[in-house]
Amino acid sequence: MPGFSTRAIKAAGRVPDAPQPPVNVPIYATSTFEVSDAAELGDLLEFGRAGHSYTRYSNPTHEALERALAELEGGEMALSTASGMAAIHAVVLSILESGDELLMPRALYGGTLGLAHAVLARSGIGHAVVDTTDADAVAAALTPRTKLLWLETITNPTTAMADVATLAELAHDRGVLVAVDNTFASPALANPLAWGADLVVHSTTKYIGGHSDLMGGAIVGPTDRVTAARKILINAGGNGSPWEAFLALRGLKTLALRMERHSSNALAVAAALEGAPGIARVQYPGLASHPQHELACRVLRDGMAGGMVAIELEGGRDHGERFLDRVRVAVHATSLGSVETLVSHPASSSHRQLTDADLAAGGMGPGTVRVSIGLEDAEDLVADLRAAARPD
Ligand SMILES: Cc1ncc(COP(=O)(O)O)c(C=O)c1O
């Protein structure tokens, strides 16, 4: 009889037959998969047959999430990644090479700008920024070196919206691909592939997960483009964990419900805070005062504008920091898209290296706070944020 150690390893690795399929996708907590011969492994590593070889390449829990996201975004194929940044990195490097240029919104998630500065520049990939709410400005900013136009459905943190359909047409006429970060809207509110985008990315850390308990990302699009991004992802080790994929799958089941409540709460809060003491401006696509309100009503599902609100406080940086100290219902933490309301102050955190002039160029003031409206009772949020914003 084999020794105890041998038997323990064999017994603990035995997978029971499950004639009744589990209702939830199990977490395939395995880094590797047994194969019958070298040819099978070779085929699996080349994705020449169905199945799995090694979790950096694929895993059944990831596959379940990928199928779900492809369906919900209306793409042929999806890829689950370690984080939103891993997804963005893989997409960008699958399209651009040394000498090429990425065109990005003037106001966008700071991490994407950080990727351009800290990683792409070292590989000879340039970048330029433009006001993507202005189609003429985008047309003028495209150069023969531009290979990819980056957009965010609703931008972080200012909630500006790009007209993806118009910009995709314009970019395609010039041979430029378009990728859209759909994190703020989530697939419940927007499907940019249907508007002409070539690829969509998500930080599933946010609304798709929805509970501030996972890190993950995703890429969705046509098979050839997602396959190209997968080549980067596998070689750079940007794969996600099956545990996080399980949580993202669980989050997906309630995404539609949560986005309804995020949207109705955010609209109630934004409307109540417009003109409140200490508040200079409220930016929320669901408000009639938002510059792209008409676009939001036209393109976002059922006119729901999501849960992200930018509030510009009258008193600048000090006022922003005071606001964070004063909230009692909302939580001062970075990140967004969760059940709890999260507040952050870009000028003292994600954008702290910027001068007031740089902030203004990005559509923000030194007193702009970003609020990710959660699922609490709207009246409690209004009272909390009003009290935090008061000027004294
Ligand atoms: C719009 C947007 N895209 C991408 C990311 C990056 O996602 P992750 O933190 O999962 O890498 C974030 C993170 O805040 C984000 O807000």
- Contact in structure between 127 and 114 (CB atoms under 8 Å): no
Nearest one of 43, 74, 56 to 200, comparing CA atoms: 74
pLDDT of residue 12: 82
Helix axes 242-253, 60-73, angle to 10 degrees: 40
Residue 10 is among the residues annotated as catalytic for this protein: no
Please give the chain's pLDDT, 392 residues, in tens.
998 889 888 888 887 778 888 999 999 999 999 999 999 999 999 999 999 999 999 999 999 999 999 999 999 999 999 999 999 999 999 999 999 999 999 989 989 999 999 999 999 999 999 999 999 999 999 999 999 999 999 999 999 999 999 999 999 999 999 999 999 999 999 999 999 999 999 999 999 999 999 999 999 999 999 999 999 999 999 999 999 999 999 999 999 999 999 999 999 999 999 999 999 999 999 999 999 999 999 999 999 999 999 999 999 899 999 999 999 999 999 999 999 999 999 988 877 777 888 888 888 899 999 999 999 999 999 999 999 999 98
Pocket test for ligand 1, best of 91, 203, 247 (most atoms within 8 A of CB): 203
Residue 57 is among the residues annotated as catalytic for this protein: no
The ligand 1 atom at the shortest distance from the C-alpha of residue 88 is: 4
In the beta sheet, which residues pair with residue 239?
A: 81
- Contact in structure between 137 and 84 (CB atoms under 8 Å): no
Residue whose CA lies nearest to ligand 1 atom number 7:
84
Residue whose CA lies nearest to ligand 1 atom number 14:
335
Tell me the backbone φ, ψ of residue 142, rounded to 5 degrees: -75, 130
Task: Spell out the SS3 assignment of the chain.
Answer: CCCHHHHHHHHHCCCCCCCCCCCCCCCCCCCECCCCCHHHHHHHHCCCCCCCCECCCCCHHHHHHHHHHHHHHCCCEEEEECCHHHHHHHHHHHHCCCCCEEEEECCCCHHHHHHHHHHHHHHCCEEEEECCCCHHHHHHHCCCCEEEEEEECECCCCCCECCHHHHHHHHHHCCCEEEEECCCCHHHHCCHHHHCCCEEEEECCCCCCCCCCCCCEEEEECHHHHHHHHHHHHHHCCECCHHHHHHHHHHHHCHHHHHHHHHHHHHHHHHHHCCCCCEEEEECCCCCCCCCHHHHHHHCHHHCCCCEEEEEECCHHHHHHHHHHHCCCCEECCCCCCCCCEEECHHHCCCCCCCHHHHHHCCCCCCEEEEECCCCCHHHHHHHHHHHHCCC
Residue with tokens 């970003």: 370
Residue 14 is among the residues annotated as catalytic for this protein: no
- Contact in structure between 199 and 221 (CB atoms under 8 Å): yes
What is the CA(184)–ligand 1 centre distance, in A?
9
The ligand 1 atom at the shortest distance from the C-alpha of residue 215 is: 10
Report yes or no on whether pTM surpasses 0.75: yes
Who lines ligand 1 at CB under 6 A? 83-85, 109, 111, 152, 156, 181, 183-184, 203, 205, 215, 217
What is the CA(289)–ligand 1 centre distance, in A?
27
Pocket test for ligand 1, best of 183, 219, 372 (most atoms within 8 A of CB): 183
What is the CA(201)–ligand 1 centre distance, in A?
10
Pocket test for ligand 1, best of 92, 156, 344, 371 (most atoms within 8 A of CB): 156
Residue 134 is among the residues annotated as catalytic for this protein: no
